[in-house]
Amino acid sequence: MNIAIYPGSFDPITCGHLDIITRCSKLYDEVIVAVLNNSSKSPLFTTEERIKLIEKSTANLNNVRAEGFDGLLVEYAKSKNTHTIIKGLRAISDFEYEFQMALLNKKLSSEIETLFMVTSESHSYISSSIVKEIAILGGSVRDLVPDEIICDLIQKIEKRR
Ligand code: COA
C-alpha cells in the first residue's frame, strides 16, 4: 500500500485543503489526513470535531481517512508505515517555513520524504484563520470551506457568541 500523510491543524478544513486531499487521493492508495492534537494555536474546534468535519467533507473519497495525532510527525508517519508527508504550498511566503520543516523532519528521520503539492490558483488565498474571521464577522464562507461543513462552522461561531 502506498500511503501518504497530509498533516495540519485543519481548524477547520478549507476548500484549499480539500483540493490537496482530492488530488492526493488520485495518486496514493490511501491518504491519512492527520489532525494535530495539542496545537499551540487555540483551536475553535476540538480535535474530534475537526476529524468529523474532514470526514464529512471527504465522504465521497473512499481512500481518505482522518485521525488525530500527538508528538513528532515523523514518528507518526513511521507508525503508519509510510515515508511520505504531503504539504500544500499556497504562495512563495509558505515556502521558507515549509522548507525549514521539511529539512528538520529529514534531520529527525532520514527516510521521511516531504512532497509539496501546489495549491490550485483559486484556493491560494485561503487559510483557516481568514475563513474563521469572515464567519465571525458574518460574511459568506461559500467556496472557502466545503459546502458540507458551512452549517457546522456557523453554528459553532454562534455558540461561542
Ligand atoms: N489551503 C488552505 N490553507 C492551507 C493550506 C491549503 N492548501 N495549507 C496550509 N494552509 C493553512 C492552514 O489553514 C493554516 O492556516 P491558519 O494558520 O490560518 O490556521 C496554515 O496554513 C498553517 O497550516 P497548519 O495546518 O497549522 O500547519 P503547519 O504548517 O503549521 O504544520 C504540522 C502543522 C502538524 C504539520 C506541524 O505542526 C507538525 O508537524 N507538528 C508535529 C510536531 C512535530 O513533528 N514538530 C517538528 C516539525 S519539524
Tell me the per-residue pLDDT of 30-53, one tens digit each, with 9 for 90 and over: 999 999 997 678 899 999 999 999
Longest Cα pair distance anywhere in the chain, in angstroms? 47
**Whole-number percent of the chain with pLDDT over 70:** 99
| Alpha helical stretches, state H, 109-140 | 128-136
pLDDT band at 92 (very low <50, low <70, confident <90, very high): confident
Question: Mean of the per-residue pLDDT values for the chain?
Answer: 95
What integer pLDDT is reported at residue 39 of this predicted model? 67
User: In the predicted model, is pLDDT for residue 87 greater than 70?
Assistant: yes
What integer pLDDT is reported at residue 101 of this predicted model? 97
Q: Is 43 in the pocket of ligand 1 (CB under 6 A)?
A: no
How many Å apart are CA 102 and CA 58, to the nearest integer?
Answer: 26
Here the cell at position 61 is 473519497
Here the cell at position 146 is 466545503
How many Å apart are CA 66 and CA 31, to the nearest integer?
Answer: 8
What integer pLDDT is reported at residue 91 of this predicted model? 84
Q: Determine the distance separating the centroid of ligand 1 and the alpha carbon of 55, expressed in angstroms.
A: 18
How many Å apart are CA 49 and CA 101, to the nearest integer?
Answer: 26
pTM given for the model: 0.95
Q: Is 109 in the pocket of ligand 1 (CB under 6 A)?
A: no
Give the side-chain half-sphere CA count within 13 A for 118.
Answer: 5
How many Å apart are CA 136 and CA 9, to the nearest integer?
Answer: 19
Q: Which amino acid is at 83?
A: H
Q: Determine the distance separating the centroid of ligand 1 and the alpha carbon of 145, expressed in angstroms.
A: 16
Q: Determine the distance separating the centroid of ligand 1 and the alpha carbon of 7, expressed in angstroms.
A: 7
- Closest atom, ligand 1, to C-alpha of 88: 7
Angle, CA of 64, 118 and 140, to the nearest 5°: 75
Residues 6+ apart with CB under 8 A from 160: 44
Nearest CA to ligand 1 atom 36: 8
End-to-end CA distance of the chain: 45
Pick the catalytic residue from 50, 80, 87, 90.
Answer: 90
Q: Is 126 in the pocket of ligand 1 (CB under 6 A)?
A: yes
**Whole-number percent of the chain with pLDDT over 90:** 90
How many Å apart are CA 64 and CA 95, to the nearest integer?
Answer: 26
User: In the predicted model, is pLDDT for residue 13 greater than 70?
Assistant: yes
- For 97-140, write each residue's pLDDT tens digit: 999 999 999 999 999 999 999 999 888 999 999 999 999 999 99
